[in-house]
A and B are shown apart, each in its own frame.
Chain A
C-alpha cells in the first residue's frame, strides 16, 4: 500500500465520475434514436434494408422477447457451426482442427449470453477466423442484447399506458453501431500501439538466447480484447486472458482495460436517470453500486497483502504479474467480478481465501455492482423494485417506482430473477460435489476444492466467466452442465425483466403524493444496498462458510492440504 497505489485508485474513481455523465448522455441520445454518427448512419439504413426490418415498428413485450430469443438461439447455432467447421474455413494458419461438440456447445452458449466461460485456451484451440466471426461478433451482440433489454425496461418504467417497448432490432443495431463499435475501434488501436498483437500472420517461431525453440502465438487480438472489456464479456483471446503479455502488455493497458469494464455499465445509470426525467434516480443507483464496489475492494486488498502462515508468503505474487503488482491485480479482480466481465489479469484460484470470497460474493449479489453491460442496470432495477416493495410493506402503502404501482405480478417475476439463479448455483454445486465427474476435475484438495466448484457455478449462472482456473472444465460433465446453467442464468434475468417491463408499461403514472417513498435519495440507496446484501448473504452464507471461510481459518492456523 503506497502512494502510487492511492493515486491510481483516485484516477480510476475520478475518471469513472467524469465519464459516467458524458457516456450516459450519448447513450440516451442513441437509444432514443436522436444521435447517430456519419457514415455509420448509412450503414444502419443498409442493415435494416437487407434484413427487412422496419426500425419504427414498435413491439409488445412478447414480440420483443421473441426477437431476443430468436436472435440469441440463431447466434448460438452460427457460433457452433463456425467452431465445428473451422478446419475448412479461411484464416486458420495453424491448421487447428474442428472443435468437438461438447466444447463447441459450451463455448457458443457462453459467448452468446455474455458469459464467456472458457474451457479452452484460444491459442491452442480457436482459428483466427473463429475468433473473429464467431467469438468477436458475439462479444458485440451479447452486450448489445443487454443494452436492448435494459432500455426496454426503462421504456416500461417511463412510458404511460403503453402496450409496446420499442424495437429490438433497432436497439441492438444502434447499440452496436453508435456505442460499442466506435469505442472498441479507438480502444483497439490504443491497445495495438502498446503491444497487443493484431495480425493475421501465422505464429512466429524463434530460437531463444539459450537456444530453445519458442513459438509466439499471434492473431487479431486487439480488436477482440477491446470489446471483450467494453462489453463486459471477458473471454480471453489467449488462455491466460489479461494476464498474458500479448493481451495486456503494459500498466497503461491494464488501467484502461479495468476502466473499460466499468465505463458502459456506469454510464447506463446516467442514461436511466435522463430517460426517467430525473438524473438523481440514476445517481442513486450509481451511488449504491459505488459503495458496494469500494467495500469489496477495501476488504480484498488488505487480505491479499497480508501474511499467509500456510504458504509462508506475504503479499503473494503467486498467479500475478510483476508489471501489475498486488493492487492492480486486486482492483482488476474486484471490477471484473462486480460486473459480469470475467476477464482476469491474475489467477483468482491463488488469491487469499478472503479476496477469493469477495470475488465470489460480488457475483452472488447478482452482478448488479455496475454489473454487465445492460444486465447490470436491469438487475439493479429489479432490486430497486424489491426495495420499494419491502419499504412499502414496512409503512403499509402500495409501493410505487417512478410513479408506477408495483403489484403482485411485478413482485412475482422479480422473485423469480432472484431465486432461479440461487437454485441453479447451489443445485449445480451440490450435484458436482456428490458425483465423480464433478469432483474429479478439482485441482486443489481440501476446502479450496469446494471453492473451485462453487466459484465455477456462481460464475456461470451470474454470466461472469472468470474461474478458479485450476478446475478442469473441459469435460463432458462441465461442458454440458455449463451450457445449461449459463442459459438458465441469462434468461432467468431477461424473460422476467421483459415481462415486468410489459406489465409496467401498460400502467398509468401516478403523480407523487405525500406517501410516496422517494427513490432518488441517499436513504433509498442505503435501503437498496441493504436489500441486495441481505438477499445475497442469506442465500449464500452457508455455502461460503464451507469454502473460503473455513479455508481462511485453516490458513491462519498454518494448515495445508
Chain B
C-alpha cells in the first residue's frame, strides 16, 4: 500500500514536471526565439497565409510545377502514405500510370508517392523534367524558367546532409512573381 501511494505521488510530481512544466517552457522559449519556425513556417502572399513552407499543397494546374504524388491526395488531418509493398500490383500500375504522365525515364521521386503524403520537395531532376511544360503554358522562355529552378534549388544542408531539392511552393510563388 505504501509502495502504491509513493508510486502515485511520484507519478503526479513527474507528470507536472515532464508533462506540463517542460512542454510549456519549451513552447515559451520557442515563441521568443523562433516565432516563425515554431508556429508552422507559414508563407503569405498579399498579407494572407497561403500555406506552410514545410508542407506540400496540391498543384495540378498546367502553369505550375507539380508536387510528388500523395497517397492521401494532400489531406493533412491525417496525411498518409500508400504503404504498398514491393510486390504490389497496385504499385506497379500506379508507377506505369506515372510513367505515362512524366515519361518512361522520369526521376524516381515523380514515379512514387511520398512517406508523409506532404513532401514539400522534388529532386532537381524532377523539376527540370517539368520546366519545358511550365514554360510553354506560361509563354515564358525555357531558359528563364530553368534559371528560376536553379535559383530555388537547395543544396544538401551544409553541403553534407540529405539530398539536393526544390521546394515546390517557393518555386511556384516565384513563378507567379514573374511579370
Contacts and interface: CB of A to CB of B under 8 A. Distances in A.
B20 A133 contact: yes
Contact of B42 (A204, A321, A356): A204
Contacts of A351: 86
B9 interface: yes
A194 B58 CA distance: 24
Interface residues of A, number: 123
A46 B42 CA distance: 41
A209 to B, nearest CB: 6
Interface stretch (A22-30, A184-192, A401-409): A184-192
A245 B120 contact: yes
B19 to A, nearest CB: 4
Given A217-B76, A323-B121, A252 B161 contact: yes
Q: On chain B, which size bracket covers the interface?
A: 35 or more
**Residue from A198, A224, A314, A356 with most neighbouring chain B CB atoms (10 Å):** A198
A193 B33 contact: yes
A52 B9 contact: yes
A322 B122 contact: yes
B96 A210 contact: no
Contacts of A469: 81, 83
A560 B88 contact: yes
B139 interface: no
Nearest to A251: B162
Interface in A221-242: 222-224, 227, 238-240
A513 interface: no
Contacts of B122: 322
A53 interface: yes
A21 to B, nearest CB: 25
Interface in B7-21: 7-11, 13-15, 17-20
B151 interface: no
Contacts of B123: 322
A189 B115 contact: no
19 contacts: A74-B7, A123-B78, A132-B23, A140-B14, A189-B26, A192-B34, A198-B38, A199-B30, A240-B79, A252-B161, A254-B161, A313-B108, A313-B112, A317-B108, A319-B112, A321-B121, A444-B84, A448-B87, A555-B86
Given A192-B26, A311-B95, 18 more contacts: A4-B160, A8-B161, A74-B7, A124-B77, A136-B23, A192-B34, A214-B55, A215-B76, A217-B76, A222-B30, A239-B79, A311-B88, A318-B82, A322-B119, A322-B121, A323-B165, A328-B162, A560-B87
Interface of B: 3-11, 13-15, 17-20, 22-23, 25-27, 29-31, 33-34, 37-42, 45, 48-55, 57-61, 64, 68, 74, 76-89, 91-92, 95-96, 99, 108-109, 111-123, 156-158, 160-163, 165, 169, 172-173, 176
Interface of A: 4, 7-8, 11, 43, 46-47, 50-53, 63, 66-67, 70-71, 74-75, 78, 121, 123-124, 132-134, 136-137, 140-141, 169, 172-173, 176, 181, 184-185, 188-189, 192-201, 203-204, 206-210, 212, 214-218, 220, 222-224, 227, 238-240, 243-246, 249-252, 254-255, 308, 310-325, 328-329, 344-347, 349-353, 356, 443-444, 446-448, 451, 468-470, 551, 554-555, 559-561
